[in-house]
Amino acid sequence: MAPAEFDVIEFRRDQAEQVIANHIPPRFEDATVDHPEIAAWVEKFLADPKSCPTLLVVGPTGTGKTWQLYGALKAVLRGLAEQGLGLDFRATSHPDLNDAMRPKPDQSHAYALEPFLKAQLVLIDDLGTGKQSEWTGDGLYRLVDHRWSRQLPSMFTTNLTAAKFTEAVGDRVASRLADGVRVPIKGEDRRWKP
């Protein structure tokens, strides 16, 4: 009896579902993309990640920005699986990234950026809400500049207005994100609705 042929698509589908189950926060396990501009960004990524621009989703707190980004991440993982591909990605919040970059006795901060520099896709939630020190501000600039100059796609959310955003992350970071796809989401904080 001949061994069964290896089905790369089926393998990648299973792998994508395992990654989703293990790496998407439970709050967002049912997240889907229902915003047309974000869905169009997902299609661009799936067609050619190297020519896909940065995605910046902006809007008030609680309007579903993070939901949309995790939905987009899931759609990318599943779409790549259908192409027989996997995805090396990193997802975090800006405050958690800052915490990872703050100097520590064990020197782990020295390597905190490395996975984000090399990943095929990066998702950073709540950009601009993390308290910046000179060290973390420099790290954020290094990350954004590295990914921008190498045309590596990234996804960001922020609830800050343009002026406050620039003040929080610096004009160099804001400028590098300006040539990406900016998607505004309006509405009220859904978390306060019954």
Kind plus residue range of the DSSP H or E element containing 177 = helix 171-178
Query: What gap in Å lies between CA 62 and CA 84, rounded to an integer?
Result: 35
Report in angstroms the alpha-carbon separations of 168 from 51, 148, 158. Answer: 28, 19, 11
> Tokens 């090399």 appear where?
118
pTM of the predicted structure, to 2 decimals: 0.91
Mean pLDDT (the chain, rounded): 92
Q: What is the dihedral of CA 43, 47, 51, 53, to 10 degrees?
A: 10
Asked if residue 125 has pLDDT above 70, the reply is yes
What's the Cα-to-Cα distance from 68 to each of 30, 56, 60, rounded to whole Å? 11, 11, 14
Query: Which tokens belong to 25?
Result: 């926060």
pLDDT-derived band at 88, boundaries 50, 70, 90:
very high
How many Cα atoms sit within 13 Å of 100 on the Cβ side?
15
Q: Which of 46-55, 57-66, 88-97, 103-112 has the lowest mean pLDDT?
A: 103-112
What residues contact residue 145 under an 8 Å CB cut-off, 6+ apart?
172, 173, 176
- Among 3-7, 110-114, 120-124, the least confident range: 3-7
The confidence score (pLDDT) of residue 5 equals 85
Domains of the chain from N-terminus onward: 9-22+32-185 (3.40.50.300)
Average pLDDT score over residue span 106-127: 92
Residue 105 burial (10 A CB sphere; 0-12, 13-18, 19+): exposed
132 has a pLDDT exceeding 80:
no
Residue 41 has pLDDT above 80, yes or no: yes
Instruction: Answer yes or no: is pLDDT of 21 > 70.
Output: yes
List the beta bridge partners of residue 57.
Answer: 157, 183
pLDDT of residue 94: 94
pLDDT attached to residue 42: 98
State the pLDDT confidence band at 2, using cuts at 50, 70 and 90.
Answer: low
> If pLDDT is split at 50, 70 and 90, which confidence band does 122 have?
very high
**Distance (Å, rounded) from C-alpha 153 to C-alpha 116?**
11
The backbone region for 69, taken as left when phi is positive above 0, alpha when psi lies in -120 to 50, beta otherwise, is: alpha
Q: Kindly tell me if the per-residue pLDDT of 93 is higher than 80.
A: yes
134 has a pLDDT exceeding 90: no
DSSP per position, 1-66: -PPPPP-HHHHHHHHHHHHHHHHS-GGGTT-----HHHHHHHHHHHH-GGGPPPEEEE-STTSSHH
State the DSSP code for 191. Answer: G
